[in-house]
Amino acid sequence: MSDIVRLKTQTQIDNEAAVWTWRLDSGSLSATARSELEAWLRADGRHRRAFEELSRTWSALDRLAERAQGDAKIVPLERPQRRRGFFMAKRSWQTAAAAVLVLGLGAALWIAGRPATQVMSTAVGQQRQVRLTDGSQLTLNTNTLVAITLTATRRDIYLRRGEAHFDVVHDASRPFFVHAGDAVIRDVGTRFEVRLNSARNIDVLVDEGQVEVRGPRAAAGPAGPQRETAGAADGWVRALSAGEQLRIAGPRLEINSVSPRQVADDLAWREGALVFQGEPLAQALAEVGRYTRTRIVLTGPKIASLPISGRFRTDDVPGFFQALQAALPVRVSRPGPGLVFIAPR
């Protein structure tokens, strides 16, 4: 343990990435500063990932500001304590957006003069609810970013990061679309969840009603226990009903039937809980890791496959580690701030 080097926390890296993004966007970088930026990017792979993620979000905000129109309003159902919304000019709201995304303040950012678009985010470990004026409700999970654009003829939600559940009030004259990576989900009067793992890795789970999912392309794969589908090169469309889940992994599509109990377990995060029913420890740790900035290191391949079951609170990750050590032959240690080792006991 004496050889362990304390690394920067993810929060520190995110803060530095925000500063570099703002300086680059403002056009104030000198040649020397650009060299310093390149050196910072090369110093740690996490630097480049944080910088690229924030840059993509920054660009998305720019595009949304340019095409926002109309005067529809969005009313937050729950406001996290000690958070405020900001009205501001473009430069000001961009600067505040970086602070919100990096520090996880979960604030709602209204774009000055363009009330049809609102950008909202949650911090790591935070959930929040938002109600639209049409009565539809959005529930955002940990570390999630959405942009909401309402007009007189349609409703568009852009899921830029994370996971969200949608309880949609159907309105045939104003269709409801969720844009997630390469996929577009159209509501047909329903409740459903979308999880964006990457632009081409998306999960859609329907717990009530139906949705229609569109994507750019799909490739055929060997038949398996799931219902696999292939689409034409110019795009694909799939209809999902209650109790079905679509998994998009690159060009591959899988539609699975999900039991009511599984649906309830998958959506338990809306109640601040995680439910495991015999999942491998490695998979459970990956899920728990979404709710904390602590780096979790599994130091034994033999324990990675140990099954774990139980219901755990998303706001009590230390409690999860205590339960883990009590239930499984593992030892949990904390060699430094923001770092947890899990090893065989």
Task: Give the mean pLDDT of 94-116.
Answer: 42
- Output Rg (C-alpha) for the chain, integer angstroms: 21
State residue 51's pLDDT score.
80
> Inter-axis angle of helices 45-67 and 31-43, to 10 degrees?
120
State residue 233's pLDDT score.
37
Task: Give the mean pLDDT of 17-37.
Answer: 76
| Pick from 243, 176, 163: nearest CA to 212 | 176
Of 50-59, 229-238, 326-335, where does the model show the most confidence?
326-335
Contact by Cβ (8 Å): 192, 170 = no
- State the DSSP H helix or E strand holding residue 246, giving kind and residue range, or none if neither: strand 244-249
DSSP E strand boundaries for 123-266: 128-132, 137-140, 145-150, 155-167, 176-180, 183-187, 191-198, 201-208, 210-215, 227-229, 236-241, 244-249, 252-257
- pLDDT mean across residues, the chain: 78
Amino acid, single-letter form, for residue 227: R
Amino acid, single-letter form, for residue 104: G
pTM above 0.85, yes or no: no
Does the structure show a pLDDT above 70 at 280? yes
Q: How far apart are CA 236 and CA 230, in angstroms?
A: 8
Domain 67-264 CATH class label: mainly beta
Q: If one looks up domain 272-344 in CATH, what number appears?
A: 3.55.50.30
How many other C-beta atoms lie within 10 A of the C-beta of residue 73? Answer: 12
Least confident window among 4-8, 194-198, 233-237, 298-302:
4-8
Amino acid, single-letter form, for residue 209: G
Does the structure show a pLDDT above 60 at 220? no
DSSP state of 95: H
pLDDT in tens, 151-190: 989 999 999 999 999 999 989 899 999 999 989 999 987 8
Does the structure show a pLDDT above 90 at 44? no
State residue 109's pLDDT score.
40
Task: Give the mean pLDDT of 9-34.
Answer: 72
How many other C-beta atoms lie within 10 A of the C-beta of residue 271? Answer: 12
Contact by Cβ (8 Å): 295, 335 = no
Which residue has 């040649």 as its token pair? Answer: 31
pLDDT in tens, 222-246: 333 344 444 433 589 999 999 999 9
Domain coordinates in residue numbering, the chain: 10-52, 67-264, 272-344
Task: Give the mean pLDDT of 52-77.
Answer: 54
Between the CA of residue 47 and those of 9, 37, 142, 272, what are the distances in Å? 11, 10, 21, 30
